[in-house]
Amino acid sequence: MTNALSSMLKEAEIERLMADTLMERLTAAEAPRKAGGKNVARSRNLKAAGLKRLKAIVRKAVRDVFDGVGASEKLDPAAVRLLEPISAVVARKRAEMSERNMELLVEAMLPANDPMSAVRSKIEADNARARVRLAEEVPCLTSAELAELAGHSARNRSATGSRWKAERKAFSVQLSGRELFPAFQFKDGKPDPAVARVLDALPPGMSQWQVAFWFVSSNPWLDGGVPSENLGKVDAVVEAARKLGEEAAG
């Protein structure tokens, strides 16, 4: 929020920039169209006091526009005509500034007032804890451990797991930069064929973590049993996976 609010342009800065720019244009208007003209000499001979007074008039005029005050009756008519365009320019710039400031304020305040932000934060925190709990409570193998279990001696220790995932014989999850394979998927150093059948029956849009949670959670179609603990009854687990797809479609 601090960064957003600090980027706002203050009115005092707008006033100063506009007054300086107007001064440049007013003094430039005194310059001749051709070098060497009489106006050049006259411009060069302007006294410092005169420039200082003109600058004060310009700044006062800009300030009056911001305050909604009309042109001073004491000003020289020529000066009034020169300063007339300020009102429209300042009004436009002020409106732009106000609109941008409002956008920044809304952007800065919205997260704090979003009624769903607290819910999303809680869901994310609960999900993170569930992932850690799964990794702690469910035996898992790293890519290197899986290759060793399978008796593969390839230099690339992740090749075994990558190949089995590509063949949809197994799945893995990512946690804290590590790839973990739940160990219940393997028998005698090879993927359990039942896992491939279940993976094929699960809805295709599920993430790897959703698949992992499904395998280790109680399932109503298995009378409250856990799929990973019932792979010996593969037909029942496959049917439970298909029911999940039907529920999602319905």
Single-letter amino acid code for the residue at 85: P
pTM for the complete prediction?
A: 0.53
Beta bridge partners of 187: 190
The mean pLDDT value for 10-27 works out to 64
Residue with tokens 């799964």: 134
pLDDT at site 121: 74
Q: How confident is the model at residue 22 (pLDDT cuts 50, 70, 90)?
A: low
C-alpha 241/C-alpha 40 separation (Å) is 90
Contact 55, 77 (CB under 8 A): no
Q: What is the pLDDT at residue 169? A: 96
Q: How many CB atoms lie within 10 A of CB 15?
A: 17
Please check whether residue 154 is in contact with residue 160, taking contact to mean a CB–CB distance below 8 angstroms: yes
Q: What is the mean pLDDT of the chain?
A: 74
* Mean pLDDT within 217-232: 95
pLDDT band, very low/low/confident/very high, at 221 (cuts 50, 70, 90): very high
Quote the distance between the C-alpha of residue 8 and its chain's center.
Answer: 20
Over range 63-68, report the average pLDDT.
Answer: 61
For residue 147, pLDDT over 50 is answered with: yes
Whole-angstrom CA distances from 138 to 83, 115, 141 are: 78, 35, 10
Residue 246: its pLDDT value, please?
78
Three-state SS string over the chain comes to CHHHHHCCCCHHHHHHHHHHHHHHHHHHHCCCCCCCCHHHHHHHCCCHHHHHHHHHHHHHHHHHHHHCCCCCCCCCHHHHHHHCHHHHHHHHHHHHHHHHHHHHHHHHHHHHHCCCHHHHHHHHHHHHHHHHHHHHHCCEEEHHHHHHHHCCCCCCCCHHHHHHHHCCCCCCEEECCEEEEEHHHEECCEECHHHHHHHHHCCCCCCHHHHHHHHHCCEHHHCCECHHHCHHHHHHHHHHHHHHHHHHHC
Report the side by side order of strands in the sheet with 173-175.
140-142, 178-182, 173-175
* Range of weakest confidence among 46-60, 91-105, 220-234: 91-105
46-55, 84-93, 218-227: segment of lowest average pLDDT: 84-93
pLDDT at residue number 27: 61
